[in-house]
Chain A
C-alpha cells in the first residue's frame, strides 16, 4: 500500500513564524498535492507538483510556497504564519489512475 507520511499531527505556531509542513510518499508517485480542509469549505488546493522541482499554484496559494527537491518529498511553507492559516493540512500523492492517497493530516494552530 502507498503510504503518505506527514511529519507532524499537531502544530502550534506563533503569528509571523515561518512554518514547514513535510510530506513524504513511498511509492515513487510523480504527482503530489497540498490541500487545506476547513469546515463548510471542504478541501481546497493550495499547491501541487507533477515532478521534481516543478510546482503549480492551486486555488488558494497566497501566503504559501512549496518545495520539491526530491520525488518523494513535498514541503509546504508558510512564509509568515497568520491566524487565518489555522487549518487542517492534507498532503496527497497519486499516480495516473486518479487514485489519491492522503496523509493523516497536520492540524496547525496559529496563535
Chain B
C-alpha cells in the first residue's frame, strides 16, 4: 500500500516552454503533498507544500509564479514549471502522507528528471 505515482519520469523541453508534472496517490487519499527538487549529488530541497482545495505554501526563495502547484483532488497534485530555463533542469520529486499529523511517514514518487535545452 501507500504508492505514489509520478509522471512523467523524465522530460526534455525547450527553453521558454512549460512542463507539467503529475503526482498521484494510488491507494490512499492525501490531503497534503510535498514537492522537492534535487540537484546532482545534493540533498532534496523542499519547494512547497500542496494542500488539497487550497493554495500551496511555498518555501522561502521559491517563485510561486514560476512553479505553479495545483492540488485539485485528494489523489492528485500537479507542478507546472512555467517558462522553463536551463537552470530549472533538475530532479523533481513529490511525496504524500496518509495522515498529515504525528508519526506519519512520507511516501515518495520516483521523481521526474527535467532537462531544459
Do A and B come from the same complex?
Answer: no
Residues of A within 8 A of B (CB): none
